[in-house]
Amino acid sequence: MSNRKLRCAIYTRKSTDEGLDQDFNSLEAQRESCAAYVMSQTHEGWEALDTRYDDGGFSGGSLERPALRALMADIEKGLIDIVVVYKVDRLTRSLADFAKLVELFDRQKVSFVSVTQAFNTTNSMGRLTLNVLLSFAQFEREVTAERIRDKFRASKEKGMWMGGQPPLGYDIDHRKLVINQSEGERVRLIFQRYLELGSVLRLMKDLESRGIRSKRWVTQKGNLKGGTHFTRGALYALLQNPVYVGQIRHKDKVHDGQHEAIIDHATWEAAQDLLARNRHESRTKTNAKAPSLLAGLLVHGDGAPYRPRQAHKKGAHIHYYLHPSGTLPAHEIDSFVTEELIGLLGRQSELCQIVGTDDPAQMDLIGVKAALTSAEIALHPRRDLVLQMVDKVTIGETQLSITINRSGLRNLLTNAQSPMPSDAPGTTQASYLITRAFQLKRCGHGRKLIIGQNKDRDSTQPDLSLLRTVARAHTWFDDLKSGLNYKEIATRDAIDERLVARTVRLAFLAPDITKAILAGREPRGLTAERLVRIPKLPASWNEQRSLFGFD
C-alpha cells in the first residue's frame, strides 16, 4: 500500500440542463461511478476530494465552463494530483482544447484517468489512446453540426421559420410566424413614411417623435427585450427584411415562406428601389469631411464592394478598405490608382482613342486639358475627378483592373456634356481597362501592396518567401518528431504559436508541388500567405493540386 496520498478531483459534465433538478441525475451517476473507481484504488493512496466540479448544461466544445475553470485553477494551485472523469468526452470534445488541458496536466504533474475507458496519461499508450478517442469524438461532433446545418438549410428552403428574435409585426405560435395586427400596422406605417420622407435618418426622427419603438418580446428565460427607439441600422435591416413580403432569407438566397405577408410587393419594390438610389448617391458623394478616394469604386472580384474604414492604433490614424476576404491599405491603393490616371493623362494619342476623336483641334484641346488635370491630381488627388474618370476598380486574386469611364473622361477633357456615339441606343463599345498584376505582402504589422507591370513574371525565379515558408514547415515538423511542442518551437523562434501550427501542415504538400515551388514554377497567385492561411489542407495530393491550380 502506498503511503503517499493522491488527491483525486472528480469532474462531471452534461450538455443540457434537462433533468438536473431531479434527486438523482446524470451528473450524480457520473460522480458515483468515478467515486467507486477511486475507492477501488485506495491501496494506491487515491483519495477523492470533497470539492465538486460539476458542469450541468454546458457543451464540451469549449473550455468556458465554470466548474472546469475552477478545476484548472485548483490544478494551477497544486491542490490536485489526479483528474477522474467518467468518459473522455465529458472533459472536452475538442482535440485542440484537450491538447491545452494535457499541457496543463503535464506542467503540474497531474494524471488523467477515464473510468469507463480504463487508461490514464501516465504512459505513452494512454496518451495515444486518448488522442484517437478524442479524434473520433470531434469527428462525431462535426458530423452532427453538418447534419444540423443541412436540416436548417432544408427547412429554410421550405419557408419555415427557424427561430431567433421574432421580427416586428409577427409573433411565434407553434414555431410559426403569425401576424400581430397592431405591430403589423406599425410596419406598414414605417414603409409608408420611408417612401414619403425618402431618408432613413428622417424616418428615424419621425418615428421617435411619434413614440414608435422596436418590438418588445420575452426570451425563453423570461427576460424582457426590445422596446427601444429605432436606430438607423435597425431601420435599414427592417426595410430590407424579406419576411415582410412572405419570404425567408437563408444566407444569400430568398425562399417563399409559410407565413402571411404584411407588405404588398409594390410597396416592397418601391422601398428597395429608394434604398438602392440612396446607396448610389451616398457612395458617390464628395462633400463628406474626409471622403475616401475610392469609396464606392473599389470592388472585389466577387462583386462585393470594399468599404472604407478608419482606425486609431498607437496614436496613428489608419485608413483602409474592408472586404470579407481581407483589408487593403488605403494609401497604397489610392496612390496606385492616381499614378495610373496621371500616366494615362500623359498619353495623348491613347486618350484620343478612348474618347473617340481624330479631329486635330480637338486633339490639341485634349492634350492641354489632360496636362492641367494631371498636374491637379498630382498636387492634390480630387475625388470628383476620380469619379469622373473611373467607373470601378476591381481587385482579383492576382491582378488589379481599373475600368475607365469613357463618357466621363470625354466630358472632362473636351468640356462636352453630350453622350459619346457609343452610348447611343443599339451601339456598344468595349470597356477600357488598365490591368496590373499585384500582390499583398505583410510588412511589419501592416500590409504592403506590391504592384507589378502588365507582363508575365519570370517563372524561372523562385519566390523566396514561398521557399522560406516551405523550409520552415519541414524544420518545425522535424522538431515536433524530436519531442518539442508548438509552444516550445514558438518560444524558441520568437513567433506566434498559431503560425507554427498553420505552417507545419505544409510539410505534407505533394512532392511535385514542393518541387515546383523550389523551381519557381508555382501557379500565379500561389503565395506564402495564401498557403499558410488556407483553412484546411487536403490530405489527398490530387485535391491539393486542384486547390492550388497545379492541374
What are 236-284's pLDDT values in tens digits?
889 999 999 988 888 778 888 888 999 999 999 989 888 887 765 555 5
Is 377 a domain residue?
yes
Is 290 a domain residue?
no
- The closest of 433, 456, 435 to 523, measured between CA atoms, is 456
Is 21 a domain residue?
yes
Claim to verify: residue 133 and residue 277 sit in the same structural domain: no
Cβ neighbors of 420 (< 8 A, separation 6 or more) are 355, 356, 406, 407, 410, 429
Percent of the chain with pLDDT over 90: 12
C-alpha dist (Å) from residue 146 to 91, 139, 151, 153, 205:
23, 11, 9, 11, 44
What residues pair up with 437 in beta bridges, in sequence order?
399
* pLDDT greater than 50 at residue 454: no
Is 456 a domain residue?
no
Claim to verify: residue 225 and residue 269 sit in the same structural domain: yes
Claim to verify: residue 435 and residue 499 sit in the same structural domain: no
Claim to verify: residue 537 and residue 398 sit in the same structural domain: no
Claim to verify: residue 205 and residue 137 sit in the same structural domain: no
Residue 399 amino acid letter: Q
Q: Where does the pLDDT of residue 137 fall: very low under 50, low under 70, confident under 90, or very high at 90 and above?
A: low
Claim to verify: residue 302 and residue 240 sit in the same structural domain: no
Q: Which pairing describes strands 390-395 and 298-300: parallel, antiparallel, or unpaired?
A: parallel
Claim to verify: residue 307 and residue 430 sit in the same structural domain: yes
Claim to verify: residue 221 and residue 180 sit in the same structural domain: yes
Model pTM score: 0.39
Grid cell locating 234: 435597425
CATH assignment at residue 96: 3.40.50.1390
User: Angle 329-336-317 (CA atoms, 0-180°, nearest 5)?
Assistant: 30
CATH assignment at residue 254: 3.90.1750.20
pLDDT in tens, 164-213: 778 898 888 888 888 999 999 999 999 999 998 888 888 999 999 999 98
> What sign has the CA pseudo-torsion 190, 196, 201, 207?
negative
Give the burial class of 330: count Cβ atoms within 10 A of its Cβ; 0-12 exposed, 13-18 middle, 19 or more buried: buried
The pLDDT, as a whole number, for residue 460 is 47
Buried b (16+ CB within 10 A) or exposed e, 382-409: ebebbbbbbbbbbbeeebbbbbbbbbbb
Domain that holds residue 242: 170-284
Hunting for cell 469549449 — which residue is that? Answer: 62
Backbone φ and ψ of 547, nearest 5°: -65, -40
What residues pair up with 172 in beta bridges, in sequence order?
177
Percent of the chain with pLDDT over 70: 84
- Among candidate residues 451, 474, 504, the one where a domain is terminated: 451
Q: How many domains does the chain have?
A: 4
Claim to verify: residue 16 and residue 60 sit in the same structural domain: yes
Is 96 a domain residue?
yes
Whether residue 323 contacts residue 396, with contact meaning beta carbons closer than 8 Å, is answered with no
Cβ neighbors of 491 (< 8 A, separation 6 or more) are none
Claim to verify: residue 443 and residue 307 sit in the same structural domain: yes
Claim to verify: residue 51 and residue 121 sit in the same structural domain: yes
- Among candidate residues 419, 451, 483, the one where a domain is terminated: 451
User: Angle 65-71-75 (CA atoms, 0-180°, nearest 5)?
Assistant: 140
Grid cell locating 214: 422596436
Residue 481 amino acid letter: K
- Among candidate residues 398, 427, 451, the one where a domain is terminated: 451
* pLDDT greater than 50 at residue 459: no
Claim to verify: residue 32 and residue 115 sit in the same structural domain: yes
Q: Quickly list H helices, 415-463.
A: none
C-alpha dist (Å) from residue 171 to 184, 217, 221, 528:
10, 9, 17, 51
C-alpha dist (Å) from residue 274 to 116, 233, 240, 277:
64, 16, 11, 5
The pLDDT, as a whole number, for residue 425 is 44
Mean residue pLDDT of the chain comes to 80
Is 1 a domain residue?
no
C-alpha dist (Å) from residue 433 to 389, 436, 478:
12, 10, 49
Is 154 a domain residue?
no
Grid cell locating 147: 447534419
Helices (H) and strands (E) in the chain, counts: 20, 20
Q: Does an H or E element contain 154, and which? A: helix 124-157
- The closest of 278, 282, 303, 302 to 292, measured between CA atoms, is 282
* pLDDT greater than 80 at residue 440: no
Secondary structure, 3-state, 316-359:
EEEEEEEECCEEEEHHHHHHHHHHHHHHHHCCHHHHHHHHCCCC
Hunting for cell 494551477 — which residue is that? Answer: 76
- The closest of 478, 471, 487 to 96, measured between CA atoms, is 487
Is 135 a domain residue?
yes
Under DSSP, the state recorded for 37 is H
The pLDDT, as a whole number, for residue 547 is 86
CA distance 459 to 461: 5
10: helix, strand or coil: strand
Supply the angle between the helices 406-414 and 348-355 in degrees, to the nearest 10. Answer: 110
